[in-house]
Amino acid sequence: MVRAPCCDKANVKRGPWSPEEDATLVNYINKHGTGGNWIALPRKAGLKRCGKSCRLRWLNYLRPDIKHGGFTEEEDHVICTLFFTIGSRWSVIASRLPGRTDNDVKNYWNTKLKKKLMKQLVSLKTVPESNFDYQVCAQNSASIDPETKNREYAANSMGFPKQNFNPGIPTSNSSLLCPPSLTEVSDFSHVPSSTPEVSSHSDSCSVVMKSEYSGSANGSSEQDQVLLDFDFDSMLNDFGFQDQSS
DNA sequence: AAGTGGCGCAACCGCCTGATT
DNA sequence: AAATCAGGCGGTTGCGCCACT
């Protein structure tokens, strides 16, 4: 079965939004709300746009509570931790960052944060016996996926060789501490804490994610643990980094 | 000053999911 | 129960800007 398109693509405008279109959309939503029907909204508002396009424009740019500008270190920590825990579920990650959109978080990860993290991993490779000085700890999502699927995907997305992704037992105790400011803001109802442990060897690295979370009615807690083992050379090669140790 | 390559971001595409008929 | 639809989501693309040569 072929799905009908959500709008008549021949008769809708595409590409960047003009200030006039923005104003029309904002005025309409301020006056009438979205009405729970994005498909009908552009016609009612007098816009020659696809409903999906209107929705995206409003949610990602025009909403009054959108936070524009650079991400803070705290936000970096949250994104990194959640990415390693649940994978590329940007909407879930964004929901933990007030004022940020999934598109924003996704763009930030893909263009900046991933590279920043990789550079830190590079520095780990060049100082093999030191503890990895990268700290990621934050509140995690209540919708944490107990299966390893998303972590495997996360590892794969980061360029970690899939075949080396093995949930298992930590190999060291170089535990990384959570920044106090992050623990203080952990006020979600089922907030687990996550403390990655990273150990390094001459040519490989292990990242252990331990997620302890209490969400059951009797207050008991469960611990979920995963070990990401990856090979430096293939990882650095994937990301186009020079091997500085050779 | 012109050309070029990289980066960042807004927007689009297509699939999935859940609600409704 | 099946079909249909709209909303939501993640992946990808395209374009403008900027730094560098």
Strands A193-200 and A204-214: antiparallel
A96 touches strand C (CB under 7 A): no
pLDDT at A28 over 70: yes
A43 touches strand C (CB under 7 A): no
A41-59 per-position pLDDT tens digit: 998 899 989 999 999 999 9
Look at residue A54 in the predicted model and tell me its pLDDT: 92
Alpha helices in chain A (DSSP H): 19-32, 41-45, 51-57, 73-86, 90-95, 102-108, 114-126, 149-157, 180-184, 232-238
In terms of residue numbers, what domain contains A39? 12-62
Are A83 and A187 found together in one domain?
yes
Are A113 and A217 found together in one domain?
yes
In a domain, A40, yes or no: yes
A82-114 per-position pLDDT tens digit: 887 788 889 888 888 888 998 989 989 888 888
Let me know how long chain A is.
246
In a domain, A142, yes or no: yes
Measured between alpha carbons, how far is A209 from A226 in angstroms, rounded to an integer?
5
In a domain, A1, yes or no: no
Bases of strand C lying below 7 A from some protein CB: 4-12, 15
CA Rg, chain A, in Å?
Answer: 22
pLDDT at A115 over 60: yes
A52 touches strand C (CB under 7 A): yes
Q: Which nucleotide is nearest to A61 (CA to C1')?
A: B10
Check which CATH number belongs to the domain holding A30 and give it.
Answer: 1.10.10.60
Are A114 and A163 found together in one domain?
yes
Q: Which nucleotide is nearest to A54 (CA to C1')?
A: B11
Q: Distance (Å) from CA A2 to C1' C11?
A: 21
Are A21 and A108 found together in one domain?
no
- For chain A residues 206-245, those near strand C by a CB cutoff of 7 A are none
A132 touches strand C (CB under 7 A): no
Are A17 and A91 found together in one domain?
no
Q: How large is the average pLDDT for residues A125-131?
A: 38
Look at residue A5 in the predicted model and tell me its pLDDT: 57
